[in-house]
Structure 1
Amino acid sequence: MYRTNFPDAPRPYANAKRHSPSIKEHLRASWLTSVIGFIMFLAGMKLVYWNEGQAVQTAHSLEEAMNAVIPVKYTSVIMEENNGKLVHFSGTLRVGEPLAEVEYGVAVPAVKLKRRVQMYQWVEEKHKREFPLKTTVYVNERVSVGRYMFGAALIDKFSDFVLVTSDERPERRDIKLHAGLYYHSRDVWNPEVGDIRVQFSYAGRADEEVSVVGMQVGKEIQPYRTFSGNEILMLRHGRLTVEEMFLDEQARNQWLTWAYRALGWLMMFLGANCVSNILQIIVSRYSILRSLLLMGMNFVNMAISTSVCFLVMSLAWSSYRPVLGTLLVIGGAMPFLFSAVRLYRRERESRYQRL
């Protein structure tokens, strides 16, 4: 009725500009989420940068070690001219006296013997905190292949434990044997609170075939430090050539590198999701990036995280492998190139429509 009687009256909000929230307003509205997102994004970048630096350093070290290693054909003779150098050899594993637990009747000629102790239904509030027995790892002091003695660092690499299976009954009556496990219990089938179960396992059994890459120091094998700063010390079961050992080591390092890459990318992606509102404002203000919004903010977050990840990776690899570094830069720029191409096509179509 008012508009009918007074048609020339000014319209409410006719001249008012449409308000668009600024970055500061978004920060004020969700500052905690934004701060967490920025920290997570920066932490992901830091992780990727550190990981790539480690990957490049490891690649340098393995390449250096591969060129420096000296194959040893006979382990029965120590070559003095190899002292202080990186050597490779394969042979039969020898140990000193068998590692034994007399009370349980267990004796294994191995590098390590682990005693694992478990207590049934142990509750801290009701029972004493200390176990009568503790989990222990016994280590043989003498480990060798031929005349080459294994140093402490090389012995530590024996970590693949195998369960000890024995039918020999313990001499003590309070210890019972069932299915390869030893029980400190009155009744194996009905254990009580506080009863103990003991399990034995070994690593590096005598007479196994092993292959080693390490530095010869006298008769002992120790880690070899490369000029890049990494230590080279390898132990594999079976007879492997130098090439096979280094390929296996490279494969292991690649799996670890890719795992950290995935974790770093995920951290950046989650961080970008936390600040997606702010990113949407930033992207929308630049025409070259605006076309990314047509595919949704999830695509924008993935594109930004992937691009930053590739660019950070390229910083580490450009000096060591320039071709790979260049490819990573191109991969990091792909979302921006994609947006530029779409923008160019759209402007070209609009020109044809005007004509």
Structure 2
Amino acid sequence: MSFTETTRTSWLARLKNALIGAVIGIILVVVAIWALFWNEGRSIKAYRALTEGAGIVVSVSADEIAPSNEGKLIHVSGKVTPDGVPADPEFGISAHGAVAVLREVEMYQWVEKSESRSETKLGGSQETVTTYTYTKEWKSGRENSGDFRQPEGHENPELAVEDQSFAVDSARVGAFAVSGESVAALGTQTDLRLTEADVARAEQVLSGQVHLDRAGFYVGMNPAQSRVGDLRIRYSRSDLPEASFVAAQSEGWLEPFTASNGREIFLSAAGKASAAEMFDTAQAENTMIMWLIRVGGMIGLMVGFSLFFSILGVIADVVPVAGSLVRFGTGMVAFVLTVLVGPLVIAIGWFAYRPLLSIGLLLAGGLIAFAVVWLRRRAAGRPNAAPSAAQ
């Protein structure tokens, strides 16, 4: 099911939109520069905190809590015992021995997809042909059919129930206590099989017929013939036999440890892991985040500069061929500015947060450059060796 719509935008309207885009571009460039600079400080502080933690962490037995370690950064590995039973109170679904119960909800609903093709006309106006396609799909969450271009006949009902995770309030790692959220994310998920008694309780909560469907409920008339508004509700349990933590010992609890620079350290891993392995993993994650933000910041700069210069292409679109050439040129300018500004901001941030190391590197680089120049001059000043006598 689809329909096609043709819209025309005048040159003046496009010019107004381009002016707004230029302002947004400036804001985006400023935000990207700030993010790139901030990221250098964030990554350095995290690196220093983790390095400090790796040097002071104490590995302890999970069997007993030593008062002498109060407030210290400790590493502990042990059996995980949930305190209580995780349960979905709305449907009465529980899992004994698990650290969490997870509910996943999908609804059979209308989904809108669009594809546009634009053509610039002589004089700068633009004609856009957009094809809207509507299909029925199983999706998590709800597509807001009120925002569809053609909402009539494609209405999606409200979700009666949504995704949710239900963790135990706390758990034990040997003798130590830890929050339920900390262990729930580490567990291995497996399907939770439901019964007809669960169906009976669900029918009291949900309107419509409820059927057992693999690892959950099917809410609708007929699972073989899905209708818009039908639900698939799946349940899984999260189990965690053993876990390892690096955290502060605080009155029998494992809590985030505050390093000397104010950064918090709280590391966790499923199963047995040494303190060295956990710190190595944390450092690798910190490096990965640093590069992801760097890439994101560079993309932000490119988009921002492109938006800022887009008004030139719109002005030149009075003659469509000229507009295309101008856009190509401004795209190259935006790329060059991104390549120049991005690394420069990263370098400034790097130098700002590592002043002593930066000065040392500059001095070392200067000495190397001086030595190379001196050696070349010395070699150039030597007289050529006399030619050997003819044989």
The bucket for the TM-score relative to the shorter chain is 0.5 to 0.7
Q: Where does residue 229 of structure 1 map in the other structure?
A: 262
- What amino acid does structure 1 have at the position aligned with 2:79? T
Q: Where does residue 290 of structure 2 map in the other structure?
A: 257
Q: Where does residue 97 of structure 1 map in the other structure?
A: 84
Task: For 1:177-216, list aligned pairs within 5 A.
Answer: 177-203=212-238, 205-206=239-240, 208-216=241-249
Q: Where does residue 47 of structure 1 map in the other structure?
A: 35
Give the whole-Å Cα distance in 2 for the aligned partners of 1:86 and 1:124: 52
Shift of 1:153: 6.3
Shift of 1:192: 4.2
Shift of 1:265: 1.6
Give the whole-Å Cα distance in 1 for the aligned partners of 2:186 and 2:101: 11
Task: For 1:38-187, list aligned pairs within 5 A.
Answer: 38-72=26-60, 74-100=61-87, 106-121=94-109, 129=158, 131=160, 133-151=161-179, 154-155=182-183, 158=185, 162-166=189-193, 168-170=195-197, 172=199, 175-187=210-222
Structure 2 CA distance for partners of 1:80 and 1:326, relative to 1, 3 Å: same
Unaligned runs of 5+ in 2: 1-17, 110-141, 147-154, 204-209, 311-328, 363-391
Residues 79 and 243, structure 2, Cα contact 8 Å, conserved in 1:
yes
Structure 2 CA distance for partners of 1:37 and 1:195, relative to 1, 3 Å: closer
Give the whole-Å Cα distance in 2 for the aligned partners of 1:36 and 1:101: 45
Query: Does the residue aligned with 1:200 lie in a helix, a strand or coil?
Result: strand
Of 192-201 and 238-247, more deviation after overlay is shown by 192-201
Residues 101 and 107, structure 1, Cα contact 8 Å, conserved in 2:
no
Of 43-52 and 162-171, more deviation after overlay is shown by 162-171
Q: 1:317 is matched with which residue: 346, 350, 359?
A: 350
Shift of 1:261: 0.5
Give the whole-Å Cα distance in 2 for the aligned partners of 1:105 and 1:276: 57
Query: Does the residue aligned with 1:109 lie in a helix, a strand or coil?
Result: coil
Structure with greater proportional strand content: 2
Shift of 1:226: 1.4
- What amino acid does structure 2 have at the position aligned with 1:92? K
Q: Where does residue 268 of structure 1 map in the other structure?
A: 301
Unaligned runs of 5+ in 1: 1-29, 278-295, 330-355
Structure 2 CA distance for partners of 1:322 and 1:160, relative to 1, 3 Å: farther
Query: Does the residue aligned with 2:300 lie in a helix, a strand or coil?
Result: helix
Per-residue CA deviations over 1:71-100 (Å, capped at 9, x if unaligned) read: 11x211101111111111111211133334
Query: Does the residue aligned with 2:104 lie in a helix, a strand or coil?
Result: strand
- What amino acid does structure 2 have at the position aligned with 1:60? R
- What amino acid does structure 2 have at the position aligned with 1:213? V
* TM-score, length basis structure 2: 0.60
Q: Where does residue 5 of structure 1 map in the other structure?
A: none
Q: CA RMSD in A?
A: 3.7
Residues 119 and 197, structure 1, Cα contact 8 Å, conserved in 2:
yes
Give the whole-Å Cα distance in 2 for the aligned partners of 1:124 and 1:53: 43
* TM-score, length basis structure 1: 0.65
Per-residue CA deviations over 1:74-128 (Å, capped at 9, x if unaligned) read: 2111011111111111112111333346967652422211223344448878787
Give the whole-Å Cα distance in 1 for the aligned partners of 2:280 and 2:162: 39
Residues 171 and 180, structure 2, Cα contact 8 Å, conserved in 1:
no
Residues 105 and 169, structure 1, Cα contact 8 Å, conserved in 2:
no
Residues 315 and 325, structure 1, Cα contact 8 Å, conserved in 2:
no
Residues 310 and 328, structure 1, Cα contact 8 Å, conserved in 2:
no
Q: Where does residue 348 of structure 1 map in the other structure?
A: none
Rg: which structure is higher? 1
Structure 2 CA distance for partners of 1:226 and 1:241, relative to 1, 3 Å: same
Give the number of aligned pairs: 279
Residues 44 and 267, structure 1, Cα contact 8 Å, conserved in 2:
yes
- What amino acid does structure 1 have at the position aligned with 2:292? A
Structure 2 CA distance for partners of 1:43 and 1:140, relative to 1, 3 Å: closer
